[in-house]
Each structure stands twice: as C-alpha cells, then as structure tokens.
Amino acid sequence: MNGNRVLVTGGAGFIGSNLSNHLAAENDVVALDNGYLGTAENLSDDVEFVEADVLDDDLPTDVDVVFHLAALSSRQMLEENPREGARVNIEGFVNVVEQARDDGCDTFVYASTSSIYGSQRDPCSEDMAVEASTGYDASMLGRERYAEYFADFHDLTLAGMRFFSVYQGYGGNEEHKGEFANTLSQFTDEIASGEAPVLWGDGSQTRDFTHVSDIVRGLELAAEHELDGVYNLGTGDTYSFNEMVELINDALGTDVEPEYEPVPLDNYVFHTCADPSKMHEATGWEPTVDFEDGVEQVVAPYREE
C-alpha cells in the first residue's frame, strides 16, 4: 500500500501507532487520538498527529483509507462506564464512517474483537456463533452490525478485523497501556523486576498470542484487497499462562514462580484460538512471528539494561 492519504483513529495507541509508523514510509498518514489510551510519543516524525476525539465534528476524513482502531478497548472500561463505552465504540465508529463517506472515502478497516467467540479451545471461524457476554463484546458486535449496514445500503467496503491476543512488549509501544497491556508484556516486566506475576485460576487458561507486526500487516492487506465482512487475525496456536511464564523465565534466565488467585470475573474467557484460514485465503496473510520468538523480542530490552 503506497501513495495514499490515510487516517488512523486511535493512531497514537498501541496497535494504531505501530500501523501509523509502518504506513508512513509510503503514505501520507494522519494519526488521530484524544490521548486517553494513546501517546504521541509512540509516533514517528513523519506521521501527522491530530489530537481529537472520534465523537467530534470536522474530523480530518478527506482520505483514501480509514483504519478505525479507536475504542475503549477493555471489558473493565465498559463495566465502569457503559454509556461512554457505547458512545465511543459504536457512535464514534458511525461518526467517523459518516464523515469519511461524505468526503468520498469508501474503504474502511476497523478493529473488532475475538472475545465475542467466548471461551473456545478449538479454532474459531468467522461463521460460528458469537455472543455479547460483556458490554465490550456488545459494543464491538454493534460496530460489526453497523458495518453491515454501511456496506449494504451505502456501497462502502468495510473489513472488521477480529484481533486475538496482541502483544509487543514494553520495549515497543505498549508500555503506556500499563494494566491494560497484554499479559505477556505485564508478566515480563514483573518477572524482570523479580516480582511474581499473579495468574488467575491455575494458570491453565490459553491465549492465541499474535505479534503486533503481524496485526499491522493484516490491516494493511485488508485495505489493499478492499476486503469486506469480518476476518480473524490470530495465529491458530495457543499457549497457557503457565507456559508463558516458563518461557519468560527461560529467556531471562530467572526462576520467578507465579502466584495464583481465584478468577474474580463472571464470563471470564479461559481459552482463545483463531482459525485464520479466511484471511489467508483472501490475502495470503499468515503470521510470521511464532510465540517463542515473540517472547525473545519482548524480553530482549531487559537483557540490555
């Protein structure tokens, strides 16, 4: 993808900044962010940063492609403020699409979530049943339904990307997320400091950990191929939290034992696993960073200290 004017909402956040910085090498990129979950420090100098909110009027939507990543992106945020979560995640999406459509843009790629599959050990395909077990799930499903409407009635191209467990590490652009960062990133920072990571349950829960570089490539391919509908971005491989802690310890040369606490949440997702075949068939995308290599990348900055 090159030579386009591109808007990335949530563009100073973890995934958004990685995407913005990557695309800026060949495109004119505007990263829009209100600073709540992002920081302009994540952005390279060749990205134009606009501090604004997706609920604002007069957004910089005169672009060729919109990547809509802005969201209140955790279950906890929507439990604490469900009305604000619905406004940002659904109304904000509609607002951006409407303004960009009025400006002549017809290609959109937007963030959805794998949590709508619930807890699943087997690989999840896009045609399986989904559910809204939390307010966050409901808001992302609402986004997907509005995308169907825009595609059917306004002839727009909208690709919803169902992210699995995306990570990069605090040595990348994830540190500012703190307690909302990926568990791999949090646990690595704790273990490197000699602190015991706290695992819920017995640590046997599993995640499909997907490196942010593979997510960025998937987002770019979705725009290049003008995909519509929904697509999984995940590896299809899973690791338990216990295995993750063991890999971190091995990579750091440490021996920090985790602590275990009862699961404090109802509807906790114990297992996630993607079936990425639809995305592969549509674009040729496949993950390039396996989890063991990904752990090495997350750990590397701590070895340099």
pLDDT above 90 (res 69):
yes
**The predicted structure's pLDDT at residue 265:** 85
Residue 51's DSSP bridge partners are 33
CATH number at residue 251: 3.90.25.10
Q: Look at residue 1 in the predicted model and tell me its pLDDT.
A: 85
Place of tokens 């750091």: 252
Whether residue 290 sits in one domain with residue 141: no
80 or 26: which leads in pLDDT: 26
Note whether 13 and 147 are same-domain residues.
yes
pLDDT interval class at 303 (50, 70, 90):
confident
Mean pLDDT of 17-42: 96
- Name the average pLDDT for the chain: 96
Over the stretch 177-229, which tens digit does the pLDDT of each residue have?
888 899 999 999 999 999 999 999 999 999 999 999 999 999 999 999 999 99
Same domain, 160 and 255: no
pLDDT in tens, 144-168: 999 999 999 999 999 999 999 999 9
Residues 114, 69: Cα–Cα separation, whole Å: 15
pLDDT tens column, 99-150: 999 999 999 999 999 999 999 999 999 999 999 999 999 999 999 999 999 9
Q: Roughly how many angstroms between the first and final C-alpha of the chain, as a whole number?
A: 37
Between 98 and 1, the more confident residue is 98
**Do 65 and 19 fall into the same domain?**
yes
In a shared domain, residues 180 and 223: no
Q: Are residues 90 and 69 in the same domain?
A: yes
Residues 114 and 241 in one domain: no
Q: Is the pLDDT of residue 5 over 90?
A: yes
Task: Check residue 305 and give its pLDDT.
Answer: 63
Could you report the per-residue pLDDT of 239-286, keeping only the tens digit for each? 999 999 999 999 999 999 999 999 998 889 999 999 999 999 999 999
Global pTM value = 0.96
CATH number, position 218:
3.40.50.720
Are residue 71 and residue 217 in the same domain, yes or no? yes
Give the span between the Cα atoms of 60 and 188, in whole angstroms: 38
Q: Residue 203: which domain range?
A: 167-207+237-275+283-303
Q: Is the confidence at residue 291, as pLDDT, over 80?
A: yes
H helices of 103-224, in order, are 135-154, 183-192, 212-224
Structure tokens at 190: 């704790």
Residue 284 backbone zone (phi > 0: left; psi -120 to 50: alpha; other: beta): left
Q: Do 112 and 181 fall into the same domain?
A: no
Give the residue, 199 or 75, on which the prediction is more confident.
199
Are 136 and 72 members of one domain?
Answer: yes
pLDDT of residue 12: 97
pLDDT at 232: 98
Rg (CA), the chain: 19
Which one-letter amino acid corresponds to residue 83?
R
User: How many domains is the chain partitioned into structurally?
Assistant: 2
Same-domain status, 197 and 298: yes
Residues 160 and 243 in one domain: no
